[in-house]
Amino acid sequence: MKNKTTLFIDQWGNKFIAKTVKELRLQISAGGSRISKMYCDTKNGTKHIGYVIGGHWLTAYQRVENQV
């Protein structure tokens, strides 16, 4: 995620756009909430898919461009 613009959507459908976790944390709270990584099990192993900040469970989405 480092310095890539990332869309985060929480469990209520709220959208946040941030380049860093620090920037995301400041948007959600006044910087006082604890940050935890959120993982998902897949058939290829466990993947980091987002963050839990305060009461927000945020899934990360990044832009992908296909080469033609």
Q: How confident is the model at residue 6 (pLDDT cuts 50, 70, 90)?
A: very high
Residue spans of the domains in the chain: they are 6-62
- Residue 1 above 70 pLDDT? no
Average pLDDT over residues 15-21: 94
Report whether 50 contacts 42 (CB < 8 A).
no
Tell me, what's the pLDDT at 2?
A: 64
pTM of the model: 0.84
pLDDT at 5: 92
Tens-place pLDDT, residues 25-68 = 999 987 678 899 999 999 999 999 999 998 999 999 988 888 87
